[in-house]
Amino acid sequence: MLEIELKQLSEVVKETESAANSFMNSADELRKIAKNVDSAIARKLEDIATRIYEACSFQDLTGQRIKNIRNKLTLVSQNAKGNKPLAEQEKTFEQSLMNGPQDSGIAPDQNEVDNLFNKTQVQKN
Amino acid sequence: MSIKDLQILIVDDYKTMLRIVRNLLGQLGFNNVEEATDGQMALTKLKEKNYGLIISDWNMEPMSGLDLLKAVRADDKYKAVPFIMVTAESKTDNVVIAKQAGVSNYIVKPFNADTLKQKLTSVIGQF
């Protein structure tokens, strides 16, 4: 049960990886062109190439969300086969810290993380 | 030797992200970059070469970035190596626990080139 759906999700991850690599290859082309144009245009092309690279992190972030969905669907599938009630897998403390990206409405930005990081005291053993 | 000759180890289970970080480091002038796709591979590489900086994801299996950080900080040979976590894990617990474990700085994904430069500067100095 759900094998086809799980496979579809794997295909999504492969396709997004392929797309991200295509975008980054295009960014590399822009950088090559930048070497042969005047400096003002070169800077703009370099900047565009950098923005493309930055944006390609979508593949990692969507992949993490899809992984979470896959894990949940696998659990549903296993539970369905065994006719057991749906139950969360028991996680170790370390596993409980790995949740992937938070929702866009609640995820902190870098400034908020920096504030928290800077005010966190390190306990000396 | 210039600071830009620094040997950097980047660790992420997503090859796309390794390519992104390598590229952004290259734009900043850092071209001595090696890659690992999980914590255990990173530890193996650390035994083989001296790195001046580790940039690692958190969410990896079987060895997470947090476990890698703890292993690095527990070993006298590498415990002083600067370690930047670059991760989508952004909850308070994550940031606090990473800092307590000895992370040098913390970048949340998605990030931009300016943030990477800023955090590198804070960890290794001006370049």
- Give the ipTM of the model, two decimals please: 0.93
pLDDT digits (tens, 9 = 90+) for A28-86: 999 999 999 999 999 999 999 999 999 999 999 999 999 999 999 988 888 877 755 55
| pLDDT(B75) > 80 | yes
Rounded to an integer, the average pLDDT of B111-125 is: 97
- Cross-chain CB nearest to B99 (options A63, A101, A120): A120
The mean pLDDT of chain A is 90
Please say whether the dihedral angle defined by the alpha carbons of residues B92, B97, B103 and B104, taken in this order, is positive or negative: positive
Question: Least CA distance to B58: which residue of chain A?
Answer: A98
**Helical H segments across chain A, by residue range:** 3-34, 39-55, 58-82, 93-96, 110-119
Residues of chain A contacting residue B58, judged by C-beta atoms under 8 Å apart: 97-98
Contact A99 B102 (CB under 8 A): no
Q: Is A18 on the interface with B (CB under 8 A)?
A: no
Q: Is B38 on the interface with A (CB under 8 A)?
A: no
Question: Do residues B18 and B37 touch, judged by C-beta distance below 8 A?
Answer: yes
* Amino acid at position A81, single letter: K
**Who contacts A61 (Cβ-Cβ below 8 Å, separation ≥6)?**
A100, A101, B88, B109, B110
With H, G, I as helix, E, B as strand and everything else as coil, classify residue B54: strand
| Model pLDDT, residue A89 | 61
- Sort A20 into a burial class: Cβ within 10 Å, 0-12 / 13-18 / 19+: buried
Q: Is A122 on the interface with B (CB under 8 A)?
A: yes
| pLDDT(B14) > 70 | yes
